[in-house]
Amino acid sequence: MTSSANEKTKRISAAQAKAQLSALMARAAYGGERFIIERRGKPMAALVGAEDLARIEGGNEGTPKGALALLGAWPDARDEEIDSFLADV
């Protein structure tokens, strides 16, 4: 098992994950750890606690991100004004 940039995220092989699933689930749920499960060194899946997943998903499905989110912040702005601003950026 190796750590990544995030100290709470660890890389683990699929075989290790299978052998230690119960312990890894407890560590994810109660310790806030995250695991990247790899097969032949390639990331395949992630194991995170349910609370962590809810925080990651944030209930924001369908909500615009980035520059698109700005459009909703200016309901009274004309399209030309927004286009001009985005062109300047």
- Indicate the domain borders of the chain: 1-58, 61-89
Percent of the chain past pLDDT 90, that is, above it, reads 47
Greater pLDDT, 66 or 57: 57
The string of pLDDT tens digits covering residues 9-22 is 999 999 999 999 99
| Residue for token pair 């109660």 | 30
Q: Are strands 42-47 and 34-39 parallel, antiparallel or unpaired?
A: antiparallel
Q: Which stretches of 28-78 are assigned E, i.e. beta strand?
A: 34-39, 42-47
CATH number of 1-58: 3.40.1620.10
- pTM here is 0.59
Alpha-carbon span 73 to 65, nearest angstrom: 12
